[in-house]
């Protein structure tokens, strides 16, 4: 555990320790190959898959507005996928190029999170390495370490482990230490449910499994607080710098229970299905603004120091929280 990781830069400190909800927002982005690409995602108005050149401009505008924390997801071209997501750790992958360019342009004023899971790069769409139809935990962790190191090398602030394999935080922390990445943090999706609220994201990231589901690694939606606490405390012990609860609104109670118990900062992911619900029920931007402010306040009240949300830009540009 390296307690200094969350304090290394002013922007990390503002994100994590500010009492201001606006400062705790993280905007997710989907990165694709090519040039001049910007494709709006079905069911997620205002959210795009963008090639690195366009993404840099988008994030540049966000930075000008004061929105300084960004989470990047790699949407890999189908023909590059294979059983172990080999291409996800390429130094020239759009995700790694984006990390390097953003760091070059914005220095330590930006906080960059990189999503690390195998599912956007595997041809079967699962979050791990398959043995038959089962996901092999420890082999999968080895591949996650490889991808995490490539993001660390590119200069990411936080490796964001979204896979839910057992013991991956310890393995990734160990590998980071071995290579001298003492300032690279880990955000762990510690308490991630096999939820029905991820639909629009899976379309966005083209990461749906080709068969079966994710119930052998993500948490059962019926599970109570004990398992949530075990997952969170184990990741904390293994060296996670931030503990994540996902989804948000249907699990506000879990967020409250976990944030009361763990000693590390807690993040919540206000997921794609929650975002779509707000947009579908409220296409009018003025009344939607009030709804968004209410949703974000509920996360802060339940103990989230960090809120990953597709609403971040709208909340900032509309000054919804001021």
DSSP state letters, 103-168 = HHHHGGGSEEEEEE-STTTBTT--SSEEETTEEEHHHHHHHHHHHHHHHHHHT-SEEEE-S--TTH
As measured in angstroms, the least distance from the Cβ of 116 to Zn ion is 9
Q: Is 246 a catalytic site residue?
A: yes
**Smallest gap from residue 85 Cβ to Zn ion (A):** 10
192 is catalytic: yes
Among residues 98, 117, 149, 254, the one that binds Zn ion under rule CB under 5 A? 117
Selecting among 35, 134, 246, 319, the annotated active-site residue is 246
Alpha helices in the chain (DSSP H): 10-17, 52-65, 94-106, 137-154, 168-178, 199-205, 225-238, 252-261, 272-281, 285-301, 312-317
The piece of 96-104, 116-124, 215-223, 226-234 that touches Zn ion (CB under 5 A) is 116-124
CB of 92 to Zn ion, least distance (A): 22
Residue nearer to Zn ion on the CB measure, 15 or 135: 135
**CA 10/CA 312 separation, integer angstroms:** 20
- Does residue 127 touch Zn ion according to CB under 5 A? yes
**Of the candidates 59, 119, 255, 307, which one interacts with Zn ion according to CB under 5 A?**
119
Interaction between residue 244 and Zn ion (CB under 5 A): no
Residue 306 makes CB contacts below 8 A (sequence gap 6+) with 15, 16, 24, 26, 69, 242, 265, 266, 267, 268
Q: How far is the CB of 162 from Zn ion (least distance, A)?
A: 6
Query: Which of the following is catalytic: 81, 104, 192, 210?
Result: 192
Which residues sit at the interface with Zn ion, rule CB under 5 A?
Answer: 117, 119, 127
What residues act catalytically?
A: 192, 246
């Amino acid at each position: 555990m390296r307690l200094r990781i969350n304090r290394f830069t002013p922007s990390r400190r503002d994100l994590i320790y500010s009492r201001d909800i606006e400062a705790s927002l993280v905007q997710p982005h989907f990165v694709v190959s090519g040039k001049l690409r910007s494709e709006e995602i079905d069911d997620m108005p205002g959210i795009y898959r963008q090639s690195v050149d366009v993404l840099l401009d988008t994030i540049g505008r966000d930075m000008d507005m004061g929105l300084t924390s960004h989470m990047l997801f790699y949407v890999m071209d189908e023909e590059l996928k294979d059983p172990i997501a080999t291409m996800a750790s390429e130094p020239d992958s759009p995700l790694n190029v984006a990390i390097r360019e953003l760091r070059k342009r914005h220095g330590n004023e930006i906080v960059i999170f990189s999503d690390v899971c195998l599912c956007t790069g595997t041809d079967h769409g699962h979050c791990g390495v398959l043995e038959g139809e089962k996901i092999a935990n420890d082999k999968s962790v080895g591949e996650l370490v490889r991808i995490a190191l490539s993001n660390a090398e590119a200069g990411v602030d936080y490796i964001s482990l979204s896979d839910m394999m057992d013991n991956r935080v310890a393995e990734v922390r160990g590998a980071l230490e071995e290579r001298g990445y003492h300032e690279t943090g880990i955000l762990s999706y510690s308490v991630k449910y096999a939820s029905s609220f991820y639909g629009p994201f899976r379309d966005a990231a083209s990461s749906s499994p080709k068969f079966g589901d994710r119930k052998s690694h993500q948490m059962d939606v019926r599970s109570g607080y004990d398992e949530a606490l075990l997952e969170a405390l184990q990741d904390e012990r293994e060296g996670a710098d931030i503990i994540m609860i996902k989804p948000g609104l249907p699990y506000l109670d879990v967020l409250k229970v976990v944030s009361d118990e763990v000693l590390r900062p807690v993040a919540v992911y206000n997921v794609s299905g929650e975002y779509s619900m707000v947009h579908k029920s409220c296409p009018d931007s003025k009344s939607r603004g009030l709804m968004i402010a209410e949703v974000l306040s509920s996360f802060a009240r339940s103990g989230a120091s960090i809120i990953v949300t597709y609403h971040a830009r709208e909340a900032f540009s509309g000054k919804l929280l001021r």
